[in-house]
Amino acid sequence: MIQTLPLPPELRPEASTPSLLVQGQGLTRQFEVDGRCVTALHDTSVAVRPGDRVALLGASGSGKSTLLHLLGGLDQPSSGTLTWPALGPAQHLRPGNVAFVFQAQSLMPPLTALENIALPLILLGQDTADAEREAQVWLDRLELSALADQLPDELSGGQAQRVAVARALVTHPKLVLADEPTGQLDSVTAQHLMDTLLCVLDADAALVMATHDTGVAQRLNDIWHMRDGRLTMITAARGVTR
């Protein structure tokens, strides 16, 4: 039988830590499908701190995407509380403080690689020329300079995901949520993407990444294991931590 983990002290309802990037307590998310209630996430409590590197590991349908969407404010829990103590109210999270990298095909098709990367800065009110100058710096940093003028459908899967990483990080977000970003890449390209992401991520930014790939998960510091909508175990690189 699957049991929900007991709450560590920092996640108990009375605890509130201003430095936490996101804190979820007793999160449940239910969907109605064909008149039937599907519980995608059951009574799950999590906290993410600056500098955390977390892999969210679990089978298909275990609730990884549902949890990521809640943590990034893309969706709301059916019950439970969700706060971003160090980031402010949900409506101020994106773009800027929180960024997503999805599995594939998340770039804007009519925009070039450079324009895609500049877009979050423009949405934040930056002048287009300045935003594109910063985007060019990210293209250079990720060894994508030659692809500046390419449209998304002219890029390989690995190149498109590197552009998506640059677009996510261009605002220096404090919380990066990645939903199987290597899911459609071969293993060499996947490891290259992980190398890039871990190298260019700000040290005080947190990364939470959903993956099916234990090799990818081992590159991060903590592994949150999910099963049937529950967080069943948290492990560190060298063993069970709770």
Ligand X SMILES: Nc1ncnc2c1ncn2[C@@H]1O[C@H](COP(=O)(O)OP(=O)(O)OP(=O)(O)O)[C@@H](O)[C@H]1O
131 lies in the binding site for ligand X (CB under 6 A) = no
62 lies in the binding site for ligand X (CB under 6 A) = yes
42 lies in the binding site for ligand X (CB under 6 A) = no
58 lies in the binding site for ligand X (CB under 6 A) = yes
Complete DSSP assignment for 113-150 = HHHHHHHHHHHTT--HHHHHHHHHHHHHHTT-GGGTT-
Specify the pairing of strand 175-179 against strand 98-101.
parallel
> What's the CA gap between 122 and 72, in Å, rounded?
20
CB of 28 to ligand X, least distance (A): 12
Q: Which is nearer to ligand X, 34 or 153 (CB)?
A: 34
61 lies in the binding site for ligand X (CB under 6 A) = yes
211 lies in the binding site for ligand X (CB under 6 A) = no
214 lies in the binding site for ligand X (CB under 6 A) = no
24 lies in the binding site for ligand X (CB under 6 A) = no
Q: Which is nearer to ligand X, 36 or 238 (CB)?
A: 36
Please identify which residue in the block is written with the tokens 């939903």.
179
77 lies in the binding site for ligand X (CB under 6 A) = no
> What's the CA gap between 51 and 216, in Å, rounded?
18
From residue 12, alpha-carbon distances to 7, 17, 107, 223, 229 in Å are 6, 11, 39, 21, 20
Q: Which is nearer to ligand X, 116 or 211 (CB)?
A: 211
Give the CA angle between residues 78, 79, 84 to the nearest 5°. Answer: 100
The binding site for ligand X (CB under 6 A) comprises: 31, 33, 38, 40, 58, 60-66, 210
